[in-house]
């Protein structure tokens, strides 16, 4: 990430790559379940155009992605997103607990 004028600019290549990889895994899961794009869009409540755009580009709203995950019986996979880190040693856990902040730092 680059810091420019106090605004974090995400590396769009890596985020686009992650989104596209997620779309490819979704397509593979859809095919494993023997579903067409039309079938999955109907099950998820999304329009066919929205679902097709997701498979092609990886771009979709979070709400749409959660609907797709529900339709593919993968909603519980989101439980690990931003989950608390697990520690290998007690020292790591103790050091991390001392650094835990209750709120964000003010921009100066």
Sorted by where each begins, the domain ranges of the chain are: 2-99
pLDDT at 92: 75
Written as six digits, the tokens of 68 are 């797709």
pLDDT digits (tens, 9 = 90+) for 55-72: 999 999 999 999 999 999
DSSP assignment of 38-85, as one string? HHHHHHHT--HHHHHHHHHH----HHHHHHHHHHTT-GGGGGGTTPPP
- How high is the pLDDT of residue 106? 72
Mean pLDDT for the chain?
84
Higher pLDDT: 65 or 11? It is: 65
- The distance between the two most distant Cα atoms of the chain, rounded to a whole number of Å, is 54
Q: Is the pLDDT of residue 75 over 60?
A: yes
pLDDT, residue 15, reads 87
pLDDT of residue 12: 59
pLDDT of 1 reads 46
Residue 10 has pLDDT above 80, yes or no: no
Instruction: Grade residue 22 by pLDDT with cuts at 50, 70 and 90.
Output: very high
Give the DSSP H or E segment for 24.
helix 12-32
Nearest to 20 by CA among 50, 53, 43: 53
Contact (CB, 8 A) for 67 and 44 = yes
| CATH node for 2-99 | 1.10.260.40
């Amino acid at each position: 990430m680059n810091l420019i004028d106090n605004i974090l600019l995400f590396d769009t290549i890596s985020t686009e790559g992650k989104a596209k990889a997620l779309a490819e895994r979704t397509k593979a899961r859809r095919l494993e379940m023997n579903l067409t794009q039309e079938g999955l869009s109907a099950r998820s409540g999304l329009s066919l155009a929205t679902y097709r755009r997701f498979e092609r580009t990886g771009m979709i709203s979070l709400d749409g992605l959660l609907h797709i995950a529900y339709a593919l019986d993968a909603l519980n996979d989101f439980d690990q997103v931003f989950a608390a880190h697990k520690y290998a040693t007690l020292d790591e856990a103790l050091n991390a607990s001392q650094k835990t902040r209750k709120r964000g730092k003010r921009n100066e």
